[in-house]
Structure 1
Amino acid sequence: MSNHQKRLSVPKSWPVARKTETFTVKADAGPHGEDGVPLLIVLRDVLGYVQSKKEARYALDEGNVLVNGVEGVSESRPIGMFDILAFTEREEYYRVFPDEGGRLALTPVDADAAGSKLAKIENKTLVEGGQTQLNLHDGQNLVIEDGSEYDTKDSIVVSNDDDEIVAHFPYEEGSLVTAVRGSHAGDIGEVTDIQVTPGSGSNNVVVETDDDTFETVEEYVVVIDENFTGDDE
């Protein structure tokens, strides 16, 4: 299997130029599915901190780059929405956040904010012993004692040190959300109406921004709070 990916066919969320060269690096299997951007692209093409795969591997082996608090990851490790990147020697920290075009961009955060990550609950199931498993948007699964207060489409903040839930943002009217897909990707606003669609179709959600109102399917929005918009930086 090839280790290369044609630039013209990469997902729209990848922050790469498509017509400069034919190929780019291919992401490993892992978090975020096909939307996951290889860490090498972030280090080389977005930040310009390395010039080659060899330089990236050296920095990672030295423990200077952490993804969600974990060091020693592969340069092909998929990076995606709401991941936290920490550059310890530089004392720089970033949250991966969709920009207005839906491409993954980096929002600077402080060291305290870099200690946890935001996650959307995609599914919730009962497991052995009466515990609850929360399946998150990036593929991580959390098993908790009591899941009664959590619902699918809610968001939680998970500590990178011990996977403890440190905050919970319910999905409901009045919630602050960001669109992560579709024509309104990157827009942030308040949910004013959740329109339930009969049958198996997707529900629609109406979101009011500072300047406008838009409607999209609820799978395209993620609940956040004001600390995740980047406005406080």
Structure 2
Amino acid sequence: MTKHQKRLSVPKTWPVERKTDTFTVKAGAGPHGEEGVPLVVLLRDVLGYVDSTKEARYALSEDAILVNGQPINDEQRPIGIFDIIAFPGREEYYRVFPDEGGRLALTEIDAEAAESRLGKIDNKQQVPGGDTQLTLHDGTNVLVEDGAEYSSNDSIVIDNDDKSIVAHFPYEEGALVTAIRGNHGGKIGEVETIDVTPGSGSNTVTVDTEDGGFETIEEYVVVIDENFTGDDE
């Protein structure tokens, strides 16, 4: 299977120029689905820390780069929204966050903020033994004894070491959200109304922002805390 794909065909969320080289690195299997950006693309095209895939492999072999607290040895590992990328040797830490237009960007954070990450609850189900399993947007599963307080579309903050929940942000009117896809990707505001669509259609949400507001489907928004907007340093 090829390890490359044409730049013109990559998702709009990828932070790459489409009209320079013909090909770029293809993301490997892993979290975030087709929207996941290969780690080497961020290291080379965004941060400029390596010039080639070979250099990226060497850095990864030295455990110089952590993703969500774990050393990574695959330069094609998909990186997506709210992932934490750490360079302990440089004392540099970044959160993946959408910029205006919805392209994935790196927001610099401090070491304490890099110890946990935000996740949107995509699914909730009871598992054998009585615990509740929360499945997050990146495929991470978190077990809780009592899942009554959690709902799909809520967000939680989990510790990168033990996956314990350190914060919970309900999806409700008045919640602070960011749009991660669609025409309003990267915009931040408060939920004004949530309109439930009968049948199988997507519910819509109206978001109030400083420049007026927008309406989108609820799959395109994620509840965040003000500390997750890049102002937490």
TM-score bin, normalised by smaller chain: over 0.9
Distance (whole Å) between structure 2 residues aligned to residue 45 and residue 118 of structure 1: 25
> What 5-or-longer segments of structure 2 have no aligned partner?
none
Question: How far 1:82 moved relative to its partner?
Answer: 0.1
Describe the SS at the equivalent of 1:57: helix
Q: State the alpha-carbon separation in 1 of the partners of residues 6 and 213 from structure 2.
A: 37
- Note the 1:22-101 alignment, pairs <5 A: 22-101=22-101
Amino acid at match of 2:123: N
For 1:115, the equivalent position in structure 2 comes to: 115
Residue pairs, 1:1-233, within 5 angstroms: 1-233=1-233
- Secondary structure of 1:107's match? strand
Shift of 1:199: 1.1
Deviation at residue 73 of structure 1 after TM alignment: 3.0
3-state DSSP of counterpart to 1:130 = coil
Deviations 1:100-137 (A, max 9, x none): 11110000000000000000000001100111111100
Q: Matched residues in 1 for 2:75 and 2:84: separation? A: 15
In structure 2, C-alpha distance between the alignment counterparts of 1:206 and 1:199, rounded to whole Å:
20
Q: CA RMSD in A?
A: 0.8
C-alpha contact (below 8 Å) 2:109/2:232 kept by paired residues:
no
Q: Give the aligned residue type for 2:158.
A: V
Q: What whole-Å deviation, never above 9, does each CA across 1:127-163 have from its counterpart, x for those lacking one? A: 0011111110001111221111100000000100111
For 1:151-197, what per-residue CA distance to the aligned partner results, in whole angstroms no more than 9, with x for missing partners?
00000001001110100000000100000011110000000100111
Amino acid corresponding to residue 106 of structure 1 in structure 2: L
Quick one: distance in 2 between partners of 1:134 and 1:91? 32
TM-score by length of structure 2 reads 0.98
Paired amino acid for 1:45: D
Cα deviation for residue 232 of structure 1 reads 3.7
Q: How far apart are residue 210 of structure 1 and its match?
A: 1.2
Q: CA deviation at 1:231?
A: 2.7
SS of the residue 2:89 aligns to: coil
For each residue in 1:19-67, what CA deviation from the matched residue of structure 2 results, as whole angstroms up to 9, or x when unmatched? 1111111111110000000000000000000011111111111111000
SS of structure 2 residue aligned to 1:134: strand
Tell me if the contact between 1:5 and 1:23 (Cα under 8 Å) persists in the aligned partners: yes
Whole-angstrom CA distance in 2 between matches of 1:82 and 1:232:
14
Contact 2:64 2:87 in 1 (8 A): yes
Number of equivalenced pairs: 233
In structure 1, what is the Cα distance between the partners aligned to 2:14 and 2:199? Answer: 34
Q: Which amino acid aligns with 2:48?
A: G
Contact 1:15 1:105 in 2 (8 A): yes
TM superposition outliers: structure 1 runs of 4+ over 6 Å: none
Secondary structure of residue in 2 paired with 1:108: strand
Paired with 1:215 and 1:111, the residues of 2 have a C-alpha distance of 35
The structural deviation recorded for 1:72 is: 3.2
Could you tell me how far apart the structure 1 residues matched to 2:89 and 2:126 are? 42
- 8 Å contact 1:36–1:80 — kept in the other structure? yes
- C-alpha contact (below 8 Å) 1:67/1:73 kept by paired residues: no
Q: CA deviation at 1:86?
A: 0.3
TM-score of the two chains, using structure 1 as the length reference: 0.98
Calculate percent identity across the aligned residue pairs: 72
